[in-house]
Structure 1
Amino acid sequence: MRCLVCQTADLAVFFDAGEQPVFANVLYDTREDALAAPRGRIRLGGCPACGFVHNVDFDPELVAYAPGYENSLHGSPTFQAFAEELARGLVERHSLKGGRAVEIGGGRAEFMALLMEAGLSEGLVMDPSSPDDALVTSDSLRIERRLFEPADAGGGEHATRLLLTRHVLEHVEAPRDFVELLASAARAAEAGLYVEVPNGLWTIRDLGVWDVIYEHCSYFTPGALRALLAGAGAVTEPREAFGGQFLCAEAASIGEPISFSTEAFGASGEEADLRAEFGRTFGEIQARWAERLTGARAAGDRMAIWGAGSKGATFLNMTGQEDVIFCAIDVNPRKLGRFIPGTGHPIVGPDSLRDIELAEIVVMNPLYRDEIASMAKSAGSSATVTVV
């Protein structure tokens, strides 16, 4: 398969995750439905030229985003603090006070609301998965369940000063077409562009194996994202954020497209080594967890994971021995009472810890470890809190 970013090299497969649930972030109302969740093959291939990583077996026909897709992280104080700081910075850097912003894939408009709190005057959010109770039409904010169109960058009562898309690009089958669409619209509106994605380099370098999910068909290293955006005229240097787990790229204006060259955008040889190591190491990580879970079963210990999102769903589906883990805990109220795709684990809130005796709580994201330990203690749990 040819690289979808630089289109100069073929992707080399380095990791096979087998059949996994098509959606890690679509939860089910019954355990039976969760166990019957549709699956798709994940084989990751890396580009030797630009560093882009893609699931070469991705089938877009399996992935249809609709209301019910739930991946909000705003219930976490740690994530909320990051989002608030980001919103204030974007308002300042792009002069959004008295202006208009357009967000592609904004869900319930939680981030757009933060921009408005920081001074933005008008916001438009488009997302085919926005639920009924989130759809809003007012003088200052509109949330519409549909795809972005170039005309959306114009119009409105105020001048559009920023187009933004956060954690959407990694879901898009044709990233070049998508970015060119956004950049062209931003250029016509004389607006800036902000793009945020999971950091593919962090996933590979820091062995974030539980971040590999089917709906994320693409993984961007800083170099691959820089090359993709430059090819559409958005010259920017992506920066790592949120403990290195995210990549943030913003351009104040859109210029002329810059063609890919290995001299300007080529990936380092180290990235190829990291991909190979990732593929080799995953089996070792699986084996270590199999041993730990077997030991917990023998000791009669009950465990839980904290985090019913991408990492949690992947961990449960890839480690096996699901019966050792009693449940998944999450702070998002819209997830409670539902079930993890593929394994059928029930999702409960932190307050449930008062009634559940656990030996260990495994935190899915190390950035949340301290806040989770505090919540568990407040709920009266004596479980040991560890990080996956």
Structure 2
Amino acid sequence: MTQYPAPRLLYEQDNFPVFQNRMYDSADEAQNCPRGNIRIVEDQTSGLVRNDAFDPALVDYDANYQNEQANSTPFREHLEWAADLILDHMGTENLVEVGCGKGTFLEMLDARGAAITGFDPTYEGTNPLIQKHYFGPELGLAADGMVLRHVLEHIPDPYAFLCQLRDANGGGGLIYIEVPCFDWICEGRCWFDIFYEHVNYFRLSDFDKMFGNVVASGRCFGGQYLYVIGDLASLRAPRFDPENAIDFPDDFTASLQGGTAGSILWGGASKGVIYALLQGRAGAPVEAVIDINPGKQGRYLAGTGLRVSAPQEVLANLPATAQIMIMNPNYSDEIRKMSNNAFTYVEVGND
């Protein structure tokens, strides 16, 4: 029997919401949401980083999952940039998006003249370009280009999944992959960017290990995301390289010790959920949460049960001395403009 080296533990937390983007109708329901544990490890065989405590049986996406970011101008600009990159490298013919969510990005590509089909079993809209099931070999499709945005970090075995996509696509084709950047998380000590539903955490070097032919790659969205265009025909099993081991910071959660009670958070998505959760555990509970997504407003965050408010609900009653914690620095200019630059602002992870 083959003996594999034990993974190296990097970071752990207990009792995290399974879905940080699932919204709840009451504080009580949100506080009693499904929970799981975090045990982030570096695999000593593949070199990949994963949550070793992840239990896929806990994960069941439904209509209450709210991860729409396209309400924000900076994020729309990022999507436009990604669309340009994809069409420049893949053309406009015979494209497939796997895990297309609510279809925002697919519809953007369609509006640019791309012939594209989306696949997502959780899709609830009516766009005929989107099929409400998984992409598989039984469909008999062979796309020239595939799009996989913010899906791979949710998959328990990412290399095996990419191999399945390769096989389902006739053994090849280009694929655009976009995932969060683990180096960005480590560099900024962004403990609020570790989530239960993200099984994997990637570095650019991981994709160099998995693809023999990388057509384009880099960091985007202010360095927070990685993008890769790889040739599926060149897939190979990743191998641990001791010269490229994770340099995980010893002071990763140091900023938790300096938290201030009564913070106003702008951003009720993933970062805000975990920031509020761990700040509360550290004795510095959050007072209010603002988000411009109408799908979140009036509903409650997993774990803490904090209510999400529209900007005007909170800002109207804030003193000029109030401090607003901006959960994503990419949105700083937009937030300052929406609030008339009337308060003190802290860019979380950039301060």
The reply to whether TM is greater than 0.5 is: yes
CA contact under 8 A between 2:315 and 2:339: conserved in structure 1?
no
What amino acid maps onto 1:330 in structure 2? D
Note the alpha carbon deviations across 1:33-88, whole angstroms, 9 max, x for none: 00111111101111356542111111111111222211121111111101112112
**How many Å apart are 1:261 and its aligned residue?**
5.0
Q: Does 1:366 align with 2:329?
A: yes
CA distance in 2, matches of 1:303, 1:78: 24
When residues 200 and 51 of structure 1 are mapped into structure 2, their CA distance, relative to the original with a 3 A threshold, is farther
Mapping of 1:109-124 within 5 angstroms?
Answer: 109-120=103-114, 122-124=115-117
Q: Can you give the 5+ residue segments of structure 1 that lack an aligned partner in the other structure? A: 294-301
CA distance in 2, matches of 1:19, 1:225: 31
How does the TM-score come out when normalised to structure 2?
A: 0.90
Q: Please, which of 71, 81, 106 is the counterpart of residue 100 of structure 2?
A: 106
Q: Which residue does 1:127 correspond to in 2?
A: 120
Provide the secondary structure at the position in 2 that maps to 1:13.
Answer: strand
CA distance in 2, matches of 1:248, 1:220: 11
Note the alpha carbon deviations across 1:109-147, whole angstroms, 9 max, x for none: 111111122221x322222332x3x2322xxx2x23322
Q: Which residue does 2:265 correspond to in 1?
A: 305
CA distance in 1, matches of 2:336, 2:71: 15
CA distance in 1, matches of 2:254, 2:195: 19
CA distance in 2, matches of 1:13, 1:240: 26
CA distance in 1, matches of 2:35, 2:226: 28
Q: Percent identity?
A: 28
Q: Which residue does 1:243 correspond to in 2?
A: 222
Q: Which residue does 1:254 correspond to in 2?
A: 232
Q: Which residue does 1:65 correspond to in 2?
A: 61
Mapping of 1:291-302 within 5 angstroms?
Answer: 292-293=260-261, 302=262
Q: Please, which of 180, 195, 200 is the counterpart of residue 213 of structure 1?
A: 195
Note the alpha carbon deviations across 1:163-222, whole angstroms, 9 max, x for none: 11100110111212211011223344x632111111112112322211101000111111
How does the TM-score come out when normalised to structure 1?
A: 0.82
**How many Å apart are 1:383 and its aligned residue?**
2.6
Note the alpha carbon deviations across 1:3-62, whole angstroms, 9 max, x for none: xxxx97532112112211111010101111001111111011113565421111111111
Mapping of 1:279-358 within 5 angstroms?
Answer: 280-289=250-259, 292-293=260-261, 302-320=262-280, 324-357=285-318
CA distance in 1, matches of 2:215, 2:13: 33
CA distance in 2, matches of 1:40, 1:85: 35
Q: Which residue does 1:298 correspond to in 2?
A: none
Q: Can you give the 5+ residue segments of structure 2 that lack an aligned partner in the other structure? A: none
Provide the secondary structure at the position in 1 that maps to 2:95.
Answer: strand
When residues 382 and 325 of structure 1 are mapped into structure 2, their CA distance, relative to the original with a 3 A threshold, is farther
CA distance in 2, matches of 1:311, 1:260: 29
Q: Please, which of 123, 136, 149 is the counterpart of residue 149 of structure 1?
A: 136
What amino acid maps onto 1:329 in structure 2? I
When residues 355 and 152 of structure 1 are mapped into structure 2, their CA distance, relative to the original with a 3 A threshold, is farther
Mapping of 1:220-231 within 5 angstroms?
Answer: 220-230=202-212
- Compute the RMSD of aligned alpha carbons: 2.4
When residues 258 and 329 of structure 1 are mapped into structure 2, their CA distance, relative to the original with a 3 A threshold, is same
Between the two proteins, the alignment pairs up a number of residues equal to 344
Provide the secondary structure at the position in 2 that maps to 1:281.
Answer: coil
Q: Is the deviation greater in 325-334 or in 104-113?
A: 325-334
What amino acid maps onto 2:333 in structure 1? D
**How many Å apart are 1:237 and its aligned residue?**
5.6
Q: Does 1:180 align with 2:159?
A: no
Q: Does 1:89 align with 2:76?
A: no
